[in-house]
Amino acid sequence: MKESLFNTLRNFADESLFEGDEIVKVDPGRRILFDAVDSARRPDGFATMLVDLLPAKEFKDAFRKRHGVPLTYLHMLIKACTLIMKKYPWTNYMIERYRVIHPSSIDVGISVAGEEVITPVVIIREADKKSLIEIVEEFRRKTAEAIRDEEKNLEKLRKIGRLLPINFLRRMVIRYLAQSYRLRRQVVGTVQISMMNTKETDLFIPMTMGTAVLMGVGGVANRPVAVGDKVEVRPSVYVTLLIDHRVWHPLHASELSKELRWIMEHPEELEKTE
């Protein structure tokens, strides 16, 4: 009876396709990307807030005219993130198995638009020591490099994938490497920001690839915002903080959220430390 049931289930699994279904071939490089996504740690919790961007918009427009650089909300969020983490060092932690590590610098990893399921990541090293202008220029340069090198990096993954054709063995290696603090810091930084900058996307909750906190940013759009006792239509954005519960208490996320909102609504703070 048990053997018959086992065979029935196995046959059902083997015949999982429906008539007319087509299998799309996955090359060795993309198999590694699949495994990398599978090994990523799912966030233990997240907190979402709506940020009024009218003050940030006015600051951004004036900054562009004053300095002649294409400042964006993303650049401002990068800077705001570093100010908060510098003020509250406990926010900049990383985990390696049973070790809690406080990195020596704040390295912000920002996902940029790419062709693959895992988008290229641009890392601004020691971002807390850089001005808004330096962040704009470095991000623009590194973004172009990351997009240009995406296909080259995929070809490298294909070569590695051919050396590890056995699925379970490849997954074991990738999951082991995903635990490496040194590798994760080199690939994604110590804190991550991922922005879905389209008006059609209100809320964006990405996945974390190894940092204790990740900031997911939705699309900027005009929305009703409470201003005192009134409701006004203003540019705004939903920001979601995804946390690793092993080192983050939910109250920490709440404190960081309040601080982030305050800075973006008082953007002059972004220049005070420069």
Pairing of strands 108-111, 191-195: parallel
**Residue 84 falls inside a structural domain:** yes
Q: Give the domain CATH number at 242.
A: 3.30.559.10
18 occurs within a structural domain: no
Mean pLDDT, 10 residues at a time, the chain of 274 residues: 57 62 77 70 78 96 96 96 89 85 93 65 93 96 86 77 79 79 88 84 78 90 91 94 81 84 94 66
What are 136's two structure tokens? 């704009």
Domain that holds residue 261: 43-268
Q: Can you read off the two tokens belonging to residue 31?
A: 């198999």
The answer to whether 225 touches 57, Cβ cutoff 8 Å, is no
Structure tokens at 53: 């961007």
Q: Is residue 166 classed as helix, strand or coil in its secondary structure?
A: coil
Burial 175-207 (b: 16+ CB within 10 A, else e): eeebeebeebbebbbbbbbbbbeeeeeeebebe
pLDDT of res. 165 = 78
The single residue listed with the structure tokens 């490298």 is: 156
Question: 15 in a domain, yes or no?
Answer: no
The C-alpha atoms of residue 107 and residue 120 are separated, in whole angstroms, by 15
Domain assignment present for 103 = yes
What CA–CA distance (Å, rounded) separates 246 from 103? 16
Looking at residue 218, its pLDDT comes to 92
Contacts of 134 (CB under 8 A, 6+ apart): none
Q: What are the Cα distances from residue 138, in Å, to 119, 133, 207?
A: 18, 9, 25
SS3 of residue 240 by DSSP: strand
At 34 the pLDDT is: 73
The answer to whether residue 60 sits within a structural domain is yes
Flag whether 34 is in a domain: no
Cβ within 8 Å of residue 82, ≥6 positions away: 106, 108, 127, 128
Task: Report the 10 Å Cβ neighbour count for 7.
Answer: 10
pLDDT on residue 39: 66
Q: Which helix (H) or strand (E) holds 54?
A: helix 54-67
Residue 4 has a pLDDT of 65
Q: What is the pLDDT of residue 273?
A: 54
d(CA 130, CA 81): 12
| Residue 127 within any structural domain of the chain | yes
Q: What is the per-residue pLDDT for 168?
A: 77
Is this structure's pTM higher than 0.85? Answer: no
Domain count for the chain, please give it: 1
Does 16 map to a domain? no
3-class SS shares of the chain: helix, strand, coil, % to 5: 50, 20, 30
The pLDDT score that the predictor gives to residue 157 is 76
